[in-house]
């Protein structure tokens, strides 16, 4: 994991040096797409893990409610932040 984080850090530093003087308006689109891809892959990995899925009944109703509300809160506040950012740019 530290190897991957190190490679990402070095790569971002190199890209910063290479693209500093160029127009980089397209980078935010790529970054957003990659974040969505990573979230999707994480969801696939967690959803396909048999131990996690089988353990949901042992976790209990309270933990499930906490998980669901945390996800819904993340979705809501992400949407709200997106609204705030896009209305400021108009």
- Residue 75 pLDDT: 95
For residue range 3-38, list pLDDT tens digits in order. Answer: 888 888 888 888 888 777 666 677 788 888 889 999
Task: Note the maximum CA span of the chain.
Answer: 55
User: Can you tell me which residue has the tokens 């999707």?
Assistant: 40
Please say if the pLDDT value at position 40 is more than 70: yes
Q: How many domains does the chain have?
A: 2
* Shared domain check, 73 and 49: no
Q: Which residue has the higher pLDDT, 73 or 52?
A: 73
The dihedral region occupied by 49, where left means phi > 0, alpha psi between -120 and 50, and beta the remainder, is beta
Tokens at 49, concatenated = 């893990």
User: Can you tell me which residue has the tokens 């400021």?
Assistant: 88
* Shared domain check, 69 and 49: no
Residue 5 lies in a domain: no
DSSP 24: -
* Shared domain check, 49 and 31: yes
- Residue 1 pLDDT: 67
* Shared domain check, 70 and 89: yes
Q: Which domain holds residue 41?
A: 23-55
d(CA 79, CA 76) in angstroms, rounded, equals 5
User: Can you tell me which residue has the tokens 């490679």?
Assistant: 7
């Amino acid at each position: 994991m530290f190897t991957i984080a190190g490679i990402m850090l070095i790569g971002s530093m190199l890209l910063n040096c290479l693209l500093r003087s160029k127009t980089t308006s397209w980078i935010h689109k790529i970054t957003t797409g990659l974040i969505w891809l990573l979230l999707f892959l994480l969801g696939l990995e967690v959803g396909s893990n048999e131990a996690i899925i089988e353990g949901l009944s042992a976790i209990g109703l309270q933990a499930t409610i906490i998980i669901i509300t945390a996800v819904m809160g993340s979705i809501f506040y992400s949407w709200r932040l997106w609204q705030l950012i896009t209305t400021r740019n108009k």
